[in-house]
Structure 1
Amino acid sequence: MANDLKIIAVTCVKNEGPFLLEWIAFHQCIGVTDFLFYSNDCDDGTDTLLDALAELGHVTHLTNPAEGRNYQMEALKDAKGQNVVQDADWVWIADVDEFPNIHVGDHSFAALIDACGDPQTISLNFQFFANNDIEAFEDRPVIEQFTRSHNPDMWCGEAAVEVKSLVRQDFPLHYFGAHRPFFKPKVKKKQRPSWTDGSGRDVPHRFLVAANPRRIRRFPAAGSRAFATLNHYALRSLDSYLVKNDRGDVNRENRAFDDTYWRERNDPAWEDTSIHRYLPALKKQMNKLKAQSNIGALHDASVAAHIAKRDALLTRPEYRDMQKQLRKASKLPPQEEQMLRDLGLLEENA
């Protein structure tokens, strides 16, 4: 497989400033050549940093075109028609807390594509990384700090785990979904796209043919990760999770906080440091980016804004309560905890 592929990463961001350079540098290390960022309503310098990176030719940065609340799908609809997407050989749609951990060859997307036999789509199962009891935000690589996850064969008592997908340009695209593409409804059986999991095996038939409104976006993870896994750092530090909650919902006052999302992703049963193979190249590339123009200063400003936001949130009683609740929350996902209770293996007051 030639290493001169044009691969574009497409993502939507809001207040992700401290994490942008790591994600960009990591993806440059695995062979991504272009980036299309959509941003909206940022107040931590994310948009300013992206503009500066765009001026240097590293990314394309657009304002999210969404007029309602469906920011991601509106952006993906727009991305389909962007020249930088149409000119790419492959399209990778993911979030800034998701990192492909490629286990074959030189650990690049090209090596993964080659191992899978150059299909039209490759879908990688998530592996959700826990908080590791890390409270304070630190300005160093996320993939270095968080090393524990659920058993990657199972999540919340389910064998099927969500995916994200790398899509070849000749895929008979109807539209991009956040987790997987959907092919045109009248594609004949023999013309359906070739599509593999992260082990190079054909994806399950039900997943392949799923169409709106079913939109199946998961399949069993066991046996599907021989060539690659998708590390998902949805929680990060407790500090950053508080800021993330503010970003997603700015009106929490007088409303109970639900810790389900946190608990579903904070199972530390499994240790996995395999992605650390990328750290030397990642840190070198991050430093290279920071040394260009005012990128380092803009990164530092976004870090300061992130910390200031945390401090401001913790002056509010509802966020102090949230912090306390998450500190003491069970590390068992709610579904697994209930299953253990039903089996009599966990006391009701545990």
Structure 2
Amino acid sequence: MILDRAKPGEDEAFARDLQAGQRQRGLNCNVELLSSDMPLGRADLPPEWHPFCAPDAPGKDRMDVPSPDRWHSPLGTVAVYEMMRLRGLSHARAVANIDVCDLITRGEDSIFDLAVNTSSGLISLVGRRCYPWRLRDQANPHFSDHICVQFDNPGASNRWCIAPNQVSDRAVWRLVRIGNVNPSGSVTGAFYRFTALRHPAPSVSQIVPKTSLVEDSYLINQSEALWNGSPERVPQIALTPTANQTGGRVIVTAMKNEGPFILEWLAYHRAIGFDDVIVYTNDCTDGTDTMLKLLQRRGYVQHRENPFREMGLKPQHAALRSAQEEEIVANAAWVTCIDVDEFVNIKCGDGTLDALFEHVPDANMIAMTWRLFGNGNVHLFDESPVIEQFIRCAREFTPKPHQAWGFKTLFRNVGLFKKLGVHRPKGLNPQLWESVHWVNGSGQPLPRQMYRNSWRSTTGTYGYDLVQLNHYAVRSAESFLVKRDRGRVNHVDRDQGLAYWFRMNNNAEVDRSIARMLPKMRGELNKLLKDPEIAEAHDYSLKCHRTKIEELKARPDYNQFYSALTSQRMERLSLLHSHFGANVFLSGPEVVPDEVIAKRPDADWFFTVERQDVTQH
């Protein structure tokens, strides 16, 4: 029994062609075609074939979606299953509900026999969505094109098979389940849903992320055996030869007006075992460029002008794309993309990369979860080391705000991914997904569902035992004025205002674990400052930073902003993050009442608000 949902008169040839095809192929079965004078689709969705209706389609928030069309939108009138039951299906030995783009898999027992032989007369059918790697004919996709499934998404589609005479009269037939009857079991892999037939699109990537697709041997065999198909196969690739594993450990970063903080950051990361740093800068006015050019001449870094304007990209994204072409990146053994306010804090062994790698010898990716370090109520800029000044931070268990558990990734340069990314490499080569050995900061494996696009840890994946990324996002209140004036290298259109300070300034507890590396850092820093030109460049940046602070504090708007940053209210809020729900951080500090701010940080309480309709900064 086939439900023909076409608008009356729209496809009169369908029944005729169906009947002719049945005769031509000698099909020994009866086919009943049902039609409707009323549209049966949902009123809130576009035509079903549109990629927006494809369950795994990426970028739905950016799609140009046509208006709803109930003649062609996904089925919304589920009562049609009761109508079909009354039209004769109630007398059948067994009934399976699948779609015209579904094919039942072959097994020892048919799903009809399985349903008849159960106590309830009902089994659940769990299908898997499948896809072509590439369509040979975009206008006419075929079953034989589909040879792929998603390695990180089971893509379950639920249907049922029922023996009508064995179930209660109270049973109600619906789209994905039978009401008032508990199934006796389920058959996983009962069918495949050939998704490009339901959602034909010019490109497979419009209905599924191609970085998730891997070949399925059952589908390949079926394509060749049933249809004599020759589908386009997934290209085979191998890991990059290990010759480059003798290369360096490389940091890629972008900066703007970070002069006072460069030397400490560079000295620290040299002390823990990084070999090379490539820095992209733009529009600097505090001597950052001069410092980096000097450091390049001395062999400490590679400095590049950021080509973001020519590339039409945000500065950080332009830097990462450009860095991919650099020889020191291409030949690197390990790569990470971190900012000058982020310090890799290795907590095992002697605090070096060698110690970390010794603890996770099989890992080729290490997620370093942020630990947000606040200003610790330090208001005035001081040139002493950041990692020494700021010791107050978020608790380890701080799932909100969502930025608190963002991570950066240290990864082996072996060709698992196609390009660099802000938080992790991007563009997974799905053929190599089984070669990914990604661990968290405690050395625990991360699930495959994170491989393609995750950028933050969760309650099940965060870890700080071996390594964490100390994130000094605010530093002193005075330095934050300069940071706000400078703008961001990624979200260039977002102001770093009071809401940003509220989210990132976390002073709940003390963590001095990085302090043991101060002697090694100072040793490297002293080597740098022994060079009189480097010392002079550093002094110049310090002077520019102080001058900029004075200029900004002389402005009424920034003076008022500084007063808010250093207020007792904001200092109290920096102790309470673990008590707030996500909507508090999305809404801003103004939504927290004074009586809540007065609560004890160490007490057991929780506060949240309704989602506010505000623009995030």
15 and 111 in structure 1: CA distance in 2 versus 1, 3 angstrom threshold: same
Distance 1:158-1:87 versus aligned 2 partners, 3 A rule: closer
| Distance in 2, Cα, partners of 1:218 & 1:40 | 28
Q: State the distance in 2 between where 1:248 and 1:206 align.
A: 33
Distance 1:245 1:287 in 2: 30
In the alignment, what sits opposite 1:311?
550
TM alignment of 1:254-333, pairs within 5 A: 258-328=497-567, 329=570, 330-331=573-574, 332-333=576-577
Aligned-pair distance for 1:206? Answer: 2.0
Q: Is 2:398 aligned against 1:154?
A: yes
Which of 425, 433, 436 is equivalent to 1:193?
Answer: 436
On the 8 A contact 1:153/1:159 being kept in 2, the answer is no
> Matched residues in 1 for 2:462 and 2:437: separation?
19
Q: Which amino acid counterpart does residue 347 of structure 1 have in structure 2?
A: E
Report the CA distance shift for 1:316/1:339 in structure 2 as closer, same or farther (over 3 A): closer
CA contact (8 A) 2:440 2:462 kept: no
1:1-350 map, 5 Å: 6-67=248-309, 68=312, 70-156=314-400, 161-190=405-434, 192-208=435-451, 210=452, 215-220=453-458, 224-248=463-487, 258-328=497-567, 329=570, 330-331=573-574, 332-333=576-577, 336=580, 347=595
1:293 Cα deviation from its structure 2 partner: 4.4
Distance in structure 1 (CA, Å) of the matches to 2:516 and 2:320 = 31
Superposed CA offset, 1:25-80 (max 9, x none): 00000101111000000000000000000001111000011123511111101111
CA contact 1:65–1:75 (8 Å) conserved in 2: yes
> Closer, same or farther in 2 for the Cα pair 1:26/1:349, shift >3 Å?
closer
Percent identity reads 36
Return closer, same or farther for 1:49/1:60 CA change in 2, 3 Å cut-off.
same
Please state whether the residue corresponding to 1:231 is helix, strand or coil. strand
On the 8 A contact 2:343/2:471 being kept in 1, the answer is yes
Task: Pick closer, same or farther for the CA change 1:160–1:193 going to 2, 3 Å.
Answer: farther
Q: Is the 8 A contact 1:10 1:91 kept in 2?
A: yes
**Aligned residue type for 1:247:** R
Q: What TM-score do the two structures reach when normalised by structure 2?
A: 0.51
- Count of aligned pairs: 335
- 8 Å contact from structure 1 (residues 16, 96) kept in 2: yes
Q: CA deviation at 1:309?
A: 0.5
* Per-residue deviation, residues 160-190 of structure 1 (Å, max 9, x unmatched): 7110011111042221110011243542543
| Closer, same or farther: CA 111–248 of 1 in aligned 2, 3 Å | same
Q: For 1:17 and 1:112, how far apart are their aligned partners in 2?
A: 29
* AA aligned opposite 2:262: L
Q: Structure 2 counterpart of 1:165, which letter?
A: T
Instruction: Please tell me the root mean square deviation across aligned C-alpha atoms, in Å.
Output: 2.7
Give the whole-Å Cα distance in 2 for the aligned partners of 1:85 and 1:315. 44
The 2-side partners of 1:56 and 1:159 are apart by: 36
Runs of 4+ residues over 4 Å off in structure 1 = 157-160, 337-341
* Greater relative CO (CA pairs within 8 A, separation 6+): 1
1:137 deviates by 0.7
Aligned counterparts of 2:462 and 2:502: Cα–Cα separation in 1 = 25
Q: Kindly indicate whether the alpha-carbon contact (under 8 Å) linking 1:207 and 1:218 is maintained by their aligned counterparts in 2.
A: no
Counterpart CA distance in 2 for 1:89 and 1:292 is 30
> C-alpha displacement at 1:88, in angstroms?
1.4
- Match of 1:316, as an amino acid? R
Q: Does the CA contact (< 8 Å) of 2:320 and 2:421 recur in 1?
A: yes
Distance 1:349 1:117 in 2: 46
Q: In the superposition, relative to structure 1, how do residues 293 and 345 fare at CA in structure 2: closer, same or farther (>3 Å)?
A: closer
Tell me the SS of whatever aligns to 2:304.
strand
Task: Identify if the C-alpha distance between structure 1 residues 160 and 288 changes in structure 2 by more than 3 Å, giving closer, same or farther.
Answer: closer
Structure 2: 5+ residue runs without aligned partners?
1-244, 489-494, 599-617
Question: What is the deviation of 1:216?
Answer: 2.1
Aligned-partner residue type, residue 59 of structure 1: V
Question: CA separation in 1, counterparts of 2:260 and 2:584?
Answer: 38
In the superposition, relative to structure 1, how do residues 156 and 274 fare at CA in structure 2: closer, same or farther (>3 Å)?
same
In structure 2, C-alpha distance between the alignment counterparts of 1:325 and 1:334, rounded to whole Å: 22
**The structure with more radius of gyration:** 2
C-alpha separation in 2, matches of 1:227 and 1:100: 11
In 2, the alpha carbon distance for the partners of 1:292 and 1:326 equals: 37
Q: What residue identity is the alignment partner of 1:280? A: P
C-alpha distance in 2 between matches for 1:334 and 1:314: 32
Is the CA contact 2:398–2:578 (under 8 Å) kept in the aligned structure 1? no
How far, CA to CA, are the matches of 1:294 and 1:160 in structure 2? 38
Using the alignment, how far apart are the partners of 1:13 and 1:294 within structure 2?
21
The alpha-carbon deviation at position 220 of structure 1 amounts to 2.4
| Residue range with higher mean Cα deviation, 8-17 or 115-124 | 115-124
Task: Work out whether residues 136 and 238 of structure 1, in 8 Å CA contact, stay in contact via their aligned partners in 2.
Answer: yes
CA positional deviation for 1:118: 3.6
Give me the whole-angstrom Cα distance separating, in 2, the residues matched to 1:272 and 1:57. Answer: 33
1:8 match: secondary structure: strand
Secondary structure in 1 aligned to 2:405?
A: strand
CA distance in 1, matches of 2:525, 2:506: 30
Partner letter of residue 420 of structure 2? F
- Partner Cα separation in structure 1 for residue 480 and residue 328 of structure 2: 32
Displacement after TM superposition at 1:154 (Å): 1.0
For residues 110 and 23 of structure 1, what CA distance do their matches in structure 2 show? 19
- DSSP-derived class of the 2:409 partner: strand
Q: Residue type matched to 1:321 in 2? A: Q
Amino acid at match of 2:517: Y
